[in-house]
Structure formats: structure tokens, C-alpha cells
């Protein structure tokens, strides 16, 4: 392939690379803008609007956020909890069922496979789900309301099953000869052998949990249970309210322009999205692997 | 003689085995049990919950206690003009997004194959970044550009001596804005899928074409695109299978849930959410959700059937 790539003439190389540099710039621009705004003073913002260079550089917004970090730290804590517990439990459940239906000698293999995949085609929709969660499982205002719904996806089971199906049956057979039970075989043999699949799917799950806001939006009202993404939604709504009712706010004697609200919320966005942006490119390799596994089948 | 001798013990064995479950099967079933219970509760129980769509649901009475009302909830939805608007939006956006993203992703993937591996890695990483942020963050990013007073676009328009635009009030711009937002977030992922497809093409095709004196453009048109066609077709059929499921995050957050824009931004998913969480019209929301599920089911089955006809190994079942 290198040979094929190298055949493009020098002029062509410049054009194509130019195209990609432009495209990259377009993709990165919003991030640059948000970082820039978070570092701009409030007066300059009102004067000049959002711009790509922080004119009137100031770290006030970050200082403001770090002064009383309680809310953010708690949101971080909630998100970390949800991500860790969700990913570990989700991997366990996915691996267990994926392994069992990958075993060709398992008697209930086909009915179980059908059982797992029917939900891929038909679901009851949002309302029955909502009612199940709130009226029957009583999970409103519980972090489990964010963890539980995303634990197991038939699609991930499909990928897991495909991977585990490739583990030679002879290995399982010989472990059995040595007197290992199915539990032992699963945890001591199958799980270690499936590390690549577990890592890939784990990464996908962690990513989904980190960015989760839908279930939080539906089920979380309690201020102490708010995860990062929902915190952002709330900040947005509050500040929209303040902005749309500025006369009312002023009548209370609060001067909006003193309060670094524009830059503070952008600083908050940076703090929420930032870690993800730095961490995940390193895992991109695994994502790519996961994608190719996924695209092989569906 | 021989046949009889062989057949008898086999039948005996089968008889002996049939009623008993092997120890291994029992253990494996136990391994699967937690997941089976999970799927039963979270998927199958909600399927039974669709009964709510045919009831006048009351929280204090529960699903079983509420009174049956037949198709009244559906009627309520379908006689309103909302049914047409949200269905139209859902379907058109799904299909339109697919067309735009596919065309751009193909172009990017083909060009990505022309640059050296090292640079292509950098470009891929950059294009992948938006995949890692949530729609909530995208909502803030959109505001950076479109905010009426401070937004980058309006300030730029002002600097050029043009009128500011009230982006969050004007309907006509939103199909384009949503398309851009969707493209921005999905291009890395889609381009990668096609890029993986291109890398998998046997290099000897290109070798042969080069000996015949083909240009890069001819190679892309006569080799790359035809070789990618099966992949494109399958992804298209899958897109059709899921065209009744919109991207809630995109349509909810990017327009900042602005009621003035509902005519052009609202899709079934956001409509159901609002009916449930904002107006509290549980039964109607359930009816609309069921309508979405049923049509979605028909589309998925049809899509899978079509894929099976084209290439068996790519079908889901």
C-alpha cells in the first residue's frame, strides 16, 4: 500500500494534505473556541463576543470553579462511579452470556441466542421503560438508574460471542479433563483469552457511561446524584433562565456582568469534556479494532 | 444385520440422554442466568408494557389496574398534524444524514488512502475527536457559533457589515445546521469504516491498473468504488432499517430544545420524550413509542431480509 500511496505526485500530495489540514482545522475549531472563551474576561466577552483568541486573557473562570469545587467533584465522583461499576458489571454480563451461546456443545444454545437477539429488533419504547424504572424498580434518584439500563446490549453480545467462538474447543475440553468446572473454565481460561475483546468492549462501555445523560435526564433530580453531563445540561438551563430574565435578576440587585457566567460555563465544559479528549485518543487504536470487529458482522 | 446392530445402541443412547440435562449444560445455564434475568427484566418486561398504549394510564392504578381505551391514544396522535411532522422529520433526516455522511466519508476515505500512513494516523485521530464528546457538549459548542449576541458567526457577520441572524428563532437554517453538526460528529467514524474497507482491497488490482496506465481518479472510480459497493449497500440497508430511530441527542440538544424550531427539528424520539417528561401525557407517549417500535421492527426485518438476499454473511440473523 505504501507504494500505491507514494505514486501520487508532489503536487497531488500537497493538495490532498492541504484538504486534510483544512478539514482538521474545521473539526478542531469548536474546541479551540470553547477553550479560548473559557480564558477570556467577561468584559471582553461582552464587548467582542466569542472569538478564537482569548483577548483579555484571564483564568478567573477556572479559579472561580476551583474555589468551590464541591459540585464538580461530586459530579465527577458520580460519573466515575457509574462508569466503573457500569463497565465492570456490563463486561461480566456480556462475557457470561456471550460465552455460553458461543459454546457449540451447549444444549440450549439456539433458543438462548434467539432470546438475546429479539430485543435487538423490537423494544417496548421509552414509556414502558420509564414506568418499569420508576414505578416497579423504584430507581428514581438512584445512580443505579444510570448504571442498569446500559449494562447489556445485544450487539456487544454478538461481538463477544464472535470472539469467544474462535477459542479452540480443545482447550475447554482439556480443562474439563483436568477436572475444571464450567465456572473455573470461564474465569481462568476464557476470560484471560478474551482480553482483546474485553478491552475493546470495555472501552466502548466506559465511553458510553462517561457521556451518559439520557437516563440521568429522565431519572435524576437529586442534586447530589447529578453526573457530569447532566450538570452541564442544568448549567445551560439555569443560565438560559438568568439570561432570559435579566430584568428580574437585576431587580434583585444582582449585576450579571460582574458574574463571570459565560466564561465559567465554558470552563466547566472544558473540565467535563477535557479529560475525555486527552485520554481517548490514546485508546483510538482499540476503538479502531473494535470497529473492524463490528463491521465484519453488521 | 449390520445396520440393525448399529442403530439399536444409538437409539438407546439417545433415549437415555434426552430427558436428562448434562451437568455441563446445567452449569452453563447457571453462568448465563444473571444475563438472562437482566434481559428478561429490561427488555421483555418492557415489551409487555406496551399495553400502556391501549390504556388510560394512571400512576396510582399501575399498568394492570388502568382502564382499557382501545386505540384512543393512537387516534389522538394521528389526527394531530404532529404525527405527520415528526414522522416526516425522522425519516427525512435519517435518510439525508446517511446520504451526506456517506458521500463525505467516501471522499475522505479515498483521500486518506492517498496520504502517507503517518499523516493518515494524525488526520484520523483529529477526525475521531468529536466522536468522544457528548451531545450536551456539542450544544455548548453550537452556542459558541450561533449565540445571538456573542456567537462567533454573528460577530463575523457584524464585522462584514451584515445583519445578525436570530439563529434560534429561524426555522429555515436548521436542516443545514443539524446536518453540519451530525456530519462533524460522525465523519471520523464513517470515514474509518470505509477506509478499513479500502485497505482490505487487494493491492494487485491497483498494480494492474497502473501498468495499464490508469490515473488515480480512474482507479478510484473503477476499482475502489466498485469494491466498496457491497459495504455501502449493506450500510444503506441498515440505515433504512433504523430510519425510524432518530438521534435524540442531536435533535434535543443542538437546537437547545427550542419550541419555536420544533417544526423542523422535532423527531419521534424527542416528541415522545416531551410527551412523557414535560407534558406528562404518558399514554399518548406510549402509543407514539409503540408506533415507532412497530414500524421500526418492520423496517429492520425487511432490511435484514434484503441483506440476506445480497450477502448471507452480513445479515444479522
How far is residue B13's CA from residue B6's CA, in Å, rounded to a whole number? 11
Q: Roughly how many angstroms between the first and final C-alpha of chain A, as a whole number?
A: 26
> Scanning every residue of chain B, which has its alpha carbon at the shortest distance from the alpha carbon of A105?
B25
Q: What integer pLDDT is reported at residue A290 of this predicted model?
A: 61
Q: What is the pLDDT of residue A225?
A: 95
CA B9 – CA B7 distance, rounded (Å): 6
B13 has a pLDDT exceeding 60: no
Check if the beta carbon of residue B291 is closer than 8 Å to that of residue B77: yes
A287 chain-B contacts, CB cut-off 8 A: 128
* Three-class DSSP category at B68: strand
Positive or negative: CA dihedral A96, A100, A101, A107: negative
Whether A99 and chain B come into contact, CB under 8 Å, resolves to yes
Model confidence at B166: pLDDT above 70: yes
Q: Are A135 and B62 in contact (CB under 8 A)?
A: yes
Extract the C-alpha cell encoding A166: 474462535
Flag whether pLDDT at B258 surpasses 90: no
Which of the four pLDDT bands, split at 50, 70 and 90, describes residue B132?
Answer: confident
pLDDT beyond 90 at B228:
yes
Residue B105 pLDDT class (50, 70, 90 cuts): very high
> How far does the CA of residue A146 sit from the closest CA of chain B (Å)?
13
Q: Which of A13, A148, A182 sits opposite B27 (nearest CB)?
A: A182
> How far apart are alpha carbons B288 and A131 in whole angstroms?
15
Residues 6+ apart with CB under 8 A from A251: none
Q: Which helix (H) or strand (E) holds B269?
A: helix B268-277
The minimal CB distance from A96 to the residues B21, B35, B184 is found for B35
Query: Which of B35, B144, B150 lies closest to A97 in CB terms?
Result: B35
Q: Which residues pair with A57 in a beta bridge?
A: A40
Do A23 and B297 count as a contact with CB atoms less than 8 A apart? no
Q: Which residues of A touch B21 (CB under 8 A)?
A: 107
Write out pLDDT tens, residues B69-100: 999 999 989 998 899 999 999 999 999 999 99
Q: Are B130 and A27 in contact (CB under 8 A)?
A: yes
Give residue A260's pLDDT: 58
The separation between the first and the last C-alpha atoms of chain B, rounded to the nearest angstrom, is 44
Contact A22, A251 (CB under 8 A): no
CB contact under 8 A, B301 and A1: no
Report the gap between the CA of A244 and the closest CA in chain B (Å): 12
Cα separation, A127 vs A274, in Å, equals 34
Nearest CA in chain B to A215: B273
Closest CA to A197 of A171, A170, A165, A169: A165
Provide the 8-state DSSP code for B1. -
| Cα distances (Å, whole numbers) of residue A149 to A11, B46, B282, B294 | 53, 12, 20, 21
Spatial separation of the C-alpha atoms in residues A112 and B9, rounded to whole Å: 31
Picking from B126, B58, B115, B89, the residue whose alpha carbon sits closest to that of residue B282 is B58
Mean pLDDT across B106-119? 91
Closest CA to B281 of B45, B56, B47: B56
pLDDT band for position B12 (50/70/90)? very low
**Which A residues 179-208 touch B at CB under 8 Å?**
181-183, 186, 207
CATH 1.10.3720.10, chain A: domain bounds: 67-296
The answer to whether the CB of B312 falls within 8 A of the CB of B232 is no
Element (H, E) at B55: strand B55-56
Chain B residue numbers touching A269 (CB-CB < 8 A): 137, 140
Q: Which residue did the predictor score with more confidence, B62 or A143?
A: A143
The DSSP symbol for B22 reads P
Please tell me the pTM assigned to this model.
0.88
Cβ of A297 within 8 Å of Cβ of B48? The answer is: no
- In sequence order, what are the beta bridge partners of B67? B56
Q: What is residue B118's predicted lDDT score, i.e. its pLDDT? A: 87
Pick B151's closest partner by Cβ from A16, A50, A149.
A50
Q: What is the pLDDT of residue A61?
A: 86
Instruction: List A residues 143-162 in contact with B (Cβ-Cβ < 8 A).
Output: 148-149, 151-152, 157-158
Low-confidence ranges of chain A (pLDDT < 70): 1-8, 241-260, 287-298
Q: Do A124 and B248 touch (CB under 8 A)?
A: no
> Number of C-alpha atoms within 13 angstroms, CB side, residue B176?
6
Q: Name, in order, each residue with C-beta under 8 angstroms of A174's C-beta and a sequence gap of 6 or more.
A: none
Determine, for residues A16 and B111 on separate chains, whether the beta-carbon distance falls below 8 Å: yes
CB spacing of A20 vs B36 below 8 angstroms: no
Q: Mean pLDDT lowest for which of B46-55, B185-194, B303-312?
A: B303-312
Select from B38, B137, B292 the Cβ nearest to the Cβ of A152: B38
Instruction: Identify all chain B residues contacting A288, using CB atoms and an 8 Å cutoff.
Output: 124, 192, 196
Exposed / middle / buried, residue A211 (Cβ in 10 Å: 0-12, 13-18, 19+):
buried
Task: Look at residue B8 and tell me whether its pLDDT is greater than 60.
Answer: no
B289–A52 CB contact, under 8 Å: no
pLDDT digits (tens, 9 = 90+) for B169-187: 999 999 999 999 999 999 9
Nearest CA in chain B to A106: B25
Contact B203 A1 (CB under 8 A): yes
| CATH code at A67-296 | 1.10.3720.10
Count of pairs with CB atoms under 8 A, one residue in A, one in B: 283
Contact A33 B141 (CB under 8 A): yes
- Bridge partners (DSSP) of residue B306 are none
Q: Which of A126, A161, A263 to mutate to test the interface with B (most CBs of B within 10 A)?
A: A126
Q: Identify the pLDDT of residue A71.
A: 86
Chain A residues inside the 8 Å CB shell of B152: 33, 49-52
A228 to chain B: closest CA residue: B136
Beta bridge partners of B55: B68
Which residues of chain B lie closer than 8 angstroms to A103, CB-CB? Answer: 28
What cell does A103 get? 459454546
Residue contact A124–B290, C-beta within 8 A: yes
Amino acid at each position: 500500500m505504501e507504494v500505491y500511496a507514494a505514486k501520487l505526485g508532489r503536487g497531488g500530495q500537497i493538495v490532498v494534505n492541504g484538504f486534510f489540514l483544512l478539514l482538521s482545522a474545521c473539526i478542531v475549531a469548536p474546541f479551540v473556541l470553547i477553550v479560548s472563551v473559557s480564558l477570556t474576561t467577561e468584559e471582553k466577552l461582552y464587548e467582542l463576543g466569542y472569538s478564537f483568541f482569548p483577548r483579555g486573557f484571564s483564568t478567573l473562570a477556572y479559579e472561580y470553579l476551583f474555589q468551590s469545587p464541591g459540585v464538580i467533584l461530586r459530579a465527577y465522583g458520580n460519573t466515575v462511579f457509574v462508569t466503573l461499576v457500569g463497565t465492570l458489571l456490563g463486561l461480566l454480563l456480556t462475557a457470561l452470556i456471550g460465552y455460553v451461546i458461543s459454546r457449540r456443545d451447549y444444549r440450549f444454545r439456539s433458543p438462548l441466542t434467539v432470546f438475546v437477539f429479539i430485543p435487538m429488533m423490537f423494544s417496548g419504547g421509552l414509556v414502558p421503560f420509564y414506568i418499569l424504572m420508576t414505578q416497579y424498580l423504584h430507581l428514581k434518584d438512584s445512580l443505579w438508574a444510570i448504571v442498569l439500563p446500559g449494562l447489556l446490549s445485544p450487539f456487544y453480545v454478538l461481538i463477544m460471542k464472535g470472539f469467544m467462538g474462535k477459542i479452540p474447543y480443545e482447550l475447554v475440553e482439556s480443562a474439563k479433563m483436568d477436572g475444571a468446572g464450567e465456572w473455573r473454565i470461564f474465569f481462568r481460561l476464557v476470560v484471560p483469552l478474551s482480553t482483546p475483546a474485553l478491552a475493546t468492549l470495555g472501552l466502548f462501555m466506559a465511553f458510553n457511561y462517561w457521556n451518559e445523560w439520557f437516563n440521568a435526564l429522565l431519572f435524576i433530580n437529586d442534586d447530589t446524584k447529578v453526573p457530569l453531563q447532566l450538570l452541564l445540561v442544568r448549567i445551560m438551563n439555569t443560565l438560559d433562565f438568568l439570561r432570559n430574565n435579566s430584568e428580574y435578576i437585576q431587580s434583585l440587585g444582582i449585576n450579571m456582568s460582574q458574574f463571570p457566567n459565560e466564561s465559567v460555563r465554558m470552563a466547566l465544559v472544558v473540565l467535563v469534556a477535557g479529560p475525555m479528549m486527552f485520554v481517548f485518543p490514546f485508546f483510538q487504536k482499540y476503538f479502531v479494532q473494535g470497529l473492524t470487529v463490528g463491521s465484519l458482522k453488521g | 444385520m449390520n445396520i440393525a446392530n448399529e442403530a439399536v445402541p444409538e437409539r438407546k443412547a439417545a433415549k437415555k440422554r434426552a430427558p436428562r440435562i448434562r451437568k455441563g449444560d446445567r452449569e452453563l445455564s447457571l453462568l448465563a442466568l444473571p444475563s438472562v434475568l437482566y434481559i428478561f427484566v429490561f427488555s421483555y418486561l418492557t415489551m409487555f408494557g406496551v399495553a400502556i398504549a391501549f390504556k388510560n394510564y394512571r400512576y396510582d392504578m399501575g399498568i394492570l389496574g388502568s382502564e382499557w381505551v382501545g386505540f384512543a391514544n393512537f387516534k389522538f396522535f394521528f389526527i394531530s398534524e404532529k404525527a405527520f411532522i415528526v414522522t416526516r422529520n425522522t425519516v427525512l433526516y435519517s435518510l439525508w444524514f446517511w446520504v451526506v455522511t456517506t458521500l463525505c466519508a467516501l471522499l475522505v476515505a479515498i483521500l486518506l488512502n492517498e496520504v502517507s500512513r503517518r499523516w493518515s494516523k494524525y488526520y484520523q485521530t483529529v477526525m475521531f475527536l468529536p466522536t468522544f464528546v457528548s451531545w450536551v457538549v456539542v450544544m455548548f459548542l453550537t452556542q459558541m457559533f450561533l449565540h445571538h449576541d456573542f456567537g462567533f458567526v454573528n460577530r463575523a457577520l457584524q464585522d462584514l457589515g451584515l445583519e445578525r441572524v436570530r439563529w434560534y428563532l429561524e426555522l429555515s437554517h436548521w436542516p443545514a445546521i443539524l446536518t453540519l453538526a451530525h456530519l462533524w460528529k460522525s465523519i471520523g467514524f464513517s470515514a474509518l469504516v470505509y477506509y478499513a474497507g479500502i485497505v482490505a482491497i487487494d493491492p494487485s488490482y491497483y498494480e494492474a491498473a497502473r501498468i495499464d496506465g490508469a490515473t488515480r481518479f480512474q482507479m478510484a472510480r473503477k476499482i475502489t468504488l466498485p469494491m466498496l459497493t457491497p459495504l455501502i449497500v449493506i450500510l444503506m440497508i441498515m440505515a433504512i432499517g433504523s430510519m425510524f430511530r432518530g438521534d435524540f441527542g442531536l435533535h434535543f440538544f443542538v437546537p437547545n430544545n427550542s419550541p419555536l424550531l420544533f417544526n423542523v427539528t422535532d423527531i419521534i424520539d424527542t416528541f415522545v420524550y416531551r410527551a412523557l417528561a414535560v407534558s406528562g401525557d404518558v399514554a399518548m407517549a406510549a402509543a407514539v413509542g409503540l408506533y415507532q417500535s412497530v414500524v421500526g421492527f418492520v423496517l429492520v426485518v425487511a432490511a435484514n431480509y434484503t441483506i440476506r438476499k445480497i450477502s448471507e454473511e452480513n445479515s444479522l440473523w
